[in-house]
Amino acid sequence: MIKLINGGVCAPQGFAASGVHCGIRKNKDKKDLALLVADVKCATACVYTTNLVKGAPILVTKKNVADGYAQAVIVNSGNANTCNADGVEIAEGMCALVEKHCRIAASDVVVASTGVIGQPLSLQPIAAGMDELVKGLGKTAENSLFAAQAIMTTDTVSKEIAYEFNLDGKTCKIGAICKGVGMLCPNMATMLMFVTTDVAITPALLQKALSADVKDSLNMVSVDRDTSTNDTLCVMASGLAGNDLIDEENADYQAFRKALFAVTSQMCRKIAADGEGATKLIECKVSGAKSKKIARTVAKSVVCSNLLKAAIFGADANWGRVLCAIGYSGAMVDVDKIDVAFRSVAGTVEVCKNGRGVPFSEEVAKQVLLEKEIEILVDLKDGNYASTGWGCDLTYEYVHINGDYRS
């Protein structure tokens, strides 16, 4: 039983968070520096952007978590610290500041940055903000919120979540904060997510669980088909829940994976729903595939289609764009078997049966697609595998946001 609770990254035992405005961003009303600190050294696992151009913080984080452990996370927004000559020096400097102010070894710090690429980043405002940042550390839901706000860029809302579940009769918790609304595809993007849990698990199995999870969660999100340079998804496990150490792929490991997916999949919905300029969440649910790979490929192709995203924005039931996206996805499917329907709280409308259009009411379809959350149901009728992809509509506002992003 997985239960939704409050607290974000501060819900699990052993984690404190903080977020402040230190001066990286011009707008003083927007926080731009976050800190997450654990009471103990944590088993830690990460996945990163697939872009060959990577932000300097990723290079430093990879080195710091190579032993499978970390105890703190420091993140700035407003500047991606990418393609800078002194980028690694700045990222290492941020870790050193954590060591100085929190007495945690710099080599046990995860560092991340998000914002404009190619702009010089000064360590001065970060150093100046550390006293306030550390003083603000706390273990409340508000502290998690402050950290979530501090990592936002063009996000319109902060993103956090937490769940409670049981292992070996022990109450365990898992929480997360996240940012990301643009440059989202493929295989992660300008997305930063930090997950905390008090489950006791080995670094090796934590990494295995995370690497498997992203195939069905973060890698299934698309906002605009661009891949950023700074994506980092980090999971830290304090082990303070008191469960038996998960050191093999047993029932407890599977239960932990379900809890992890509960967190990451809900974050996927939040990310897609808040896509840059978005007015609607698109959720493509593929069933009847003859392999998991085919199901994933089809779902991702559909939510990536700019033509479909534009049609959803206009509440136009142009289902041919769904079939088109499936057709060029590269997945081996029988196009003469495919069924497609659109669904929302306003109802369900079937638009395609066995690869052919069927009569439907345009008025009803319009009402279905005017809602803020749209499901595209694709049945391949060729097997027992399923997958879900998350995306959003493509609007005029997306162009406006990215036309003057640096300002």
Catalytic residues: 190
Q: Which of 44, 193, 182 has its CA nearest to residue 104?
A: 44
Q: Helix, strand, coil proportions of the chain in percent (round to 5)? A: 35, 30, 35
Contact of 374 with 282, CB cutoff 8 Å: yes
Q: For Cα atoms 259, 43, 171, give the angle at the middle one, nearest 5 degrees.
A: 40
Q: Which of 102, 9, 106 has its CA nearest to residue 65?
A: 106
What is the dihedral sign for C-alpha 35, 41, 45, 47?
Answer: positive
Task: Report how far residue 217's alpha carbon sits from residue 209's, in angstroms, rounded to the nearest whole number.
Answer: 12
Task: Report how far residue 402's alpha carbon sits from residue 407's, in angstroms, rounded to the nearest whole number.
Answer: 10
Contact of 262 with 87, CB cutoff 8 Å: no
Token couple for 49? 């952007």
Q: Which of 266, 256, 318, 41 has its CA nearest to residue 159?
A: 266
Contact of 193 with 233, CB cutoff 8 Å: yes
Q: Which of 232, 276, 245 has its CA nearest to residue 43?
A: 245
Contact of 119 with 88, CB cutoff 8 Å: no
Task: Report how far residue 91's alpha carbon sits from residue 60's, in angstroms, rounded to the nearest whole number.
Answer: 7
What is the dihedral sign for C-alpha 144, 150, 156, 159?
Answer: negative
Identify the helix (H) or strand (E) that includes residue 285.
strand 281-289
Task: Report how far residue 150's alpha carbon sits from residue 158's, in angstroms, rounded to the nearest whole number.
Answer: 9
Q: Which of 71, 9, 45 has its CA nearest to residue 202?
A: 45
